[in-house]
A and B are shown apart, each in its own frame.
Chain A
């Protein structure tokens, strides 16, 4: 199951199956690479192994419980999803959260970005067989988790965000230690960045592979550092500021080439930016209320946007006036980034594809959204047309329920 197996298809094409349990992948995910000799001609991803149905579960939780559940969408983006949901609910409520709460959200959000980017740098090194970088980056990730634990009580899942603010305060007595940790980390990351940028082996291995042009980025809806590495200047933190980003001094990092090397550079430079954001927050954090108290969420809908470490995360929330969401829709950044494999991997050699797949830092926990329930001899039963028909039926049923005529474009 774990080892790659090959079987012949007509012509000289072969299909290589990777996964679902593969030592290189942390999560169970299946890829099918179609290759001609060494060259990859087609990539197919199988998105069902980690589907858990969290959107459905969220409809059975009260608004106070949902952010905690959403932390479990993805282990790395736990702050992302809970804050994004709170953004959606606050958009629905049209309220501003207290300033101290927005600073706390910024601090935990940036700490998360720090440990996520360091984790990626390490994994990228691991994928190309450069384990020194893996060990190095993960060693520097530890102090970040320590600071997270000092401030929130847990290494990753803080359970802090709630609708209208944050649940608990972060203790100021730990701020000096957090500051010192950031200073140390800054030096270490500076060294790591210089080492990675100067390394001739890494340059030879990563430059010019897995290139996404700016046009492809726009066409495929790629977001986050993957898009910024191709020179597409997008960042929700600046474009539609939430939390405290408007009051802080920081810049959006972009590079030009769009290859795997540049994606690494963007992330390494973003680490430095995040450190600076956290330092500013620790300086400037105001006192005051932590949250707005219990909120009654009225009937309506809201949209939350959040710049996750991997790109733009969107939550859509519909409320029917009860204490549980009527519908929650999560569009995680990896969902659009994974689709771009279709352009970035084609024509690369097999050895380069693993790192190209990893380059957008795909998170399959966020992405997987199908579960094949019944199938004849293990094949999926739905074609694209079936899915279109099913979703049209659903839209019609919803329209009928809401007493509206279905639009003409449904036919």
Chain B
């Protein structure tokens, strides 16, 4: 991970690890994963106590949470949102769909798992995969924590 983003001063990385802001992108999944992400914010899981916060714009975010396979219509918006995110940036693939397209593998209107779609525009992109359909909120939080460990 550190090799992938050599220009980032260590102070930035340190700050990022303390308080990553996440931006959530639903790219045509079934919205169950999206709900479990929103669930992470609510009293039982409350990720804000770790300094994580859902950001309103990709420009404010450090980590992107992606759910769902990428439909044709979502492809360009997703790539654009990724490029808007400042470095160092990383993505968490939440759910079977985002990891491998899951149940929609053969569907005519999906164009590929999000990691491939993002690698097209940014070969340096780094990901963490959280499988499950949908993963439990605990698992999603663990995914983000693992990502921070890897940074």
Q: How far is the CA of A76 from the CA of B81 in the complex (A)?
A: 26
B67 → A minimal CB distance (Å): 9
Which of A21-29, A91-99, A242-250 is the interface stretch? A21-29
- Please, which residues of chain B bring their CB within 8 A of the CB of A1? 58, 77, 80-81, 84
A23-B74 contact in complex given A69-B103, A135-B42, C-beta closer than 8 Å: no
Which residue of the partner chain, among A51, A69, A75, A138, contacts B31 with CB atoms under 8 Å?
A75
A148 → B minimal CB distance (Å): 12
Contact between chains at B31 and A26 (CB < 8 Å)? yes
Contact between chains at A53 and B109 (CB < 8 Å)? yes
Judged by a CB distance under 8 angstroms, whether B19 is at the interface is no
Q: Which of the listed residues A21, A26, A363 has the most CB atoms from chain B within 10 Å of its own CB?
A: A21
A402 → B minimal CB distance (Å): 25
Q: How large is the interface on A (under 10, 10 to 19, 20 to 34, 35 or more residues)?
A: 35 or more
- Please, which residues of chain A bring their CB within 8 A of the CB of B57? 2-3, 23
Q: How far is the CA of A138 from the CA of B104 in the complex (A)?
A: 29
B105 → A minimal CB distance (Å): 9
Chain B contact residues: over half helix, strand or loop, or mixed?
mixed
Contact between chains at A75 and B134 (CB < 8 Å)? yes
Contact between chains at B26 and A28 (CB < 8 Å)? yes
A57-B107 contact in complex given A21-B81, A50-B71, C-beta closer than 8 Å: yes
Which residue of the partner chain, among A2, A48, A119, contacts B35 with CB atoms under 8 Å?
A119
Judged by a CB distance under 8 angstroms, whether A87 is at the interface is no
A51-B54 contact in complex given A1-B77, A26-B34, A56-B107, C-beta closer than 8 Å: no
Which residue of the partner chain, among A26, A52, A122, contacts B28 with CB atoms under 8 Å?
A52
Judged by a CB distance under 8 angstroms, whether B130 is at the interface is no
Q: Chain B 47-76, CB within 8 Å of chain A: the 1/0 string?
A: 000000011111000000000110111100
A57-B32 contact in complex given A3-B57, A48-B73, A138-B43, C-beta closer than 8 Å: no
- Please, which residues of chain B bring their CB within 8 A of the CB of A72? 30, 32, 102-104, 133
Contact between chains at A73 and B84 (CB < 8 Å)? no
Look across to chain A and name the residue whose beta carbon is closest to the beta carbon of B35: A75
A57-B73 contact in complex given A2-B56, A27-B34, A75-B31, C-beta closer than 8 Å: no
Contact residues of B between 23 and 44, Cβ < 8 Å to A? 23-36, 38-39, 42-44
- Please, which residues of chain B bring their CB within 8 A of the CB of A373? 72
Judged by a CB distance under 8 angstroms, whether A207 is at the interface is no
Judged by a CB distance under 8 angstroms, whether A291 is at the interface is no
Q: How far is the CA of A68 from the CA of B30 in the complex (A)?
A: 13
- The number of inter-chain residue pairs (CB within 8 angstroms) is 143
Contact between chains at A28 and B27 (CB < 8 Å)? yes
- Please, which residues of chain A bring their CB within 8 A of the CB of B74? 20, 28, 49-50
Contact between chains at B72 and A371 (CB < 8 Å)? yes
A135 → B minimal CB distance (Å): 6
Contact between chains at B35 and A26 (CB < 8 Å)? yes
Judged by a CB distance under 8 angstroms, whether A54 is at the interface is yes
Q: How far is the CA of A381 from the CA of B136 in the complex (A)?
A: 41
Judged by a CB distance under 8 angstroms, whether A102 is at the interface is no
- Please, which residues of chain A bring their CB within 8 A of the CB of B42? 122, 134-135, 138-139, 141-142
Contact between chains at B38 and A26 (CB < 8 Å)? yes
Contact between chains at A75 and B103 (CB < 8 Å)? no
- Please, which residues of chain A bring their CB within 8 A of the CB of B25? 21, 28
Contact between chains at A23 and B54 (CB < 8 Å)? yes
Contact between chains at B26 and A2 (CB < 8 Å)? no
Contact between chains at A26 and B26 (CB < 8 Å)? yes
Contact between chains at B56 and A76 (CB < 8 Å)? no
- Please, which residues of chain A bring their CB within 8 A of the CB of B69? 52
Judged by a CB distance under 8 angstroms, whether A203 is at the interface is no
- Please, which residues of chain B bring their CB within 8 A of the CB of A54? 104, 107
Contact between chains at B33 and A51 (CB < 8 Å)? no
Contact between chains at A53 and B107 (CB < 8 Å)? yes
Judged by a CB distance under 8 angstroms, whether B110 is at the interface is yes
- Please, which residues of chain B bring their CB within 8 A of the CB of A75? 29-35, 134
Q: How far is the CA of A363 from the CA of B35 in the complex (A)?
A: 12
Q: How far is the CA of A281 from the CA of B99 in the complex (A)?
A: 38
Contact between chains at A371 and B73 (CB < 8 Å)? yes
Contact residues of A between 24 and 43, Cβ < 8 Å to B? 26-28
Look across to chain B and name the residue whose beta carbon is closest to the beta carbon of A372: B73
Contact between chains at A20 and B77 (CB < 8 Å)? yes
Q: How far is the CA of A191 from the CA of B55 in the complex (A)?
A: 32
Contact residues of A between 132 and 191, Cβ < 8 Å to B? 134-135, 138-139, 141-142, 155-157
Contact between chains at A155 and B136 (CB < 8 Å)? yes
Q: How far is the CA of A23 from the CA of B42 in the complex (A)?
A: 16
Q: Which residues of B contact A (CB under 8 A)?
A: 23-36, 38-39, 42-44, 54-58, 68-69, 71-74, 77, 80-81, 84, 102-104, 106-110, 133-134, 136
- What would 11 A/B residue contacts be, using CB atoms closer than 8 Å? A23-B56, A26-B24, A27-B26, A48-B72, A50-B26, A73-B30, A76-B35, A142-B39, A363-B31, A365-B31, A372-B72
The 6 closest A-B pairs by CB, nearest first: A75-B32, A138-B42, A23-B56, A371-B109, A26-B34, A50-B28
